[in-house]
Amino acid sequence: MAQLPILEFPDPRLRTKAVPVEAARLADPSFQQLFDDMFETMYEAPGIGLAASQIDVHQRFMVIDVTEDKIRPLVFVNPEITARQGEQVYQEGCLSVPNIFADVTRSDMITVQALDRHGQPFTLEVDGVLAVCVQHEMDHLDGKLFVDYLSPLKREMVRKKLAKARKQANAA
Ligand code: GNR
Ligand code: NI
Q: Which pLDDT does position 117 carry in this prediction?
A: 98
Q: Is the CB of 95 under 6 A from ligand 1?
A: yes
Per-residue pLDDT of the chain (172 residues; tens, 9 = 90+): 899 999 999 999 999 999 999 999 999 999 999 999 999 999 999 999 999 999 999 999 999 999 999 999 999 999 999 999 999 999 999 999 999 999 999 999 999 999 999 999 999 999 999 999 999 999 999 999 999 999 999 999 999 999 999 999 999 7
Q: Which pLDDT does position 1 carry in this prediction?
A: 81
Model-wide pTM > 0.85: yes
How far is it, in rounded angstroms, from Cα 38 to Cα 4? 7
How far is it, in rounded angstroms, from Cα 96 to Cα 80? 23
Q: Among 4, 42, 48, which is best to mutate for testing ligand 1, by the most ligand atoms less than 8 A from CB?
A: 48
Options 8, 44, 80, 137, the catalytic residue? 137
Q: Among 134, 136, 146, which is best to mutate for testing ligand 1, by the most ligand atoms less than 8 A from CB?
A: 136
Residue ranges covered by each domain of the chain: 12-166
Query: Which atom in ligand 1 lies closest to the alpha carbon of residue 91?
Result: 6
Task: Return the SS3 of 124.
Answer: strand
Q: Is the CB of 49 under 6 A from ligand 1?
A: yes
Q: What residue owns the CA closest to ligand 1's atom 14? A: 94
What spatial distance separates the first Cα and last Cα of the chain, rounded to whole Å? 30
How far is it, in rounded angstroms, from Cα 22 to Cα 59? 9
Task: Return the SS3 of 108.
Answer: strand
Instruction: Tell me if residue 80 is catalytic.
Output: no
Task: Please report, as a single letter, which amino acid is at residue 161.
Answer: K
Q: Is the CB of 136 under 6 A from ligand 1?
A: yes
Rg, Å, the chain Cα set = 16
Is CATH 3.20.20.70 the right assignment for the domain spanning 12-166? no
Query: Which atom in ligand 1 lies closest to the alpha carbon of residue 46?
Result: 1
Q: Which pLDDT does position 172 carry in this prediction?
A: 79
How far is it, in rounded angstroms, from Cα 90 to Cα 108? 10
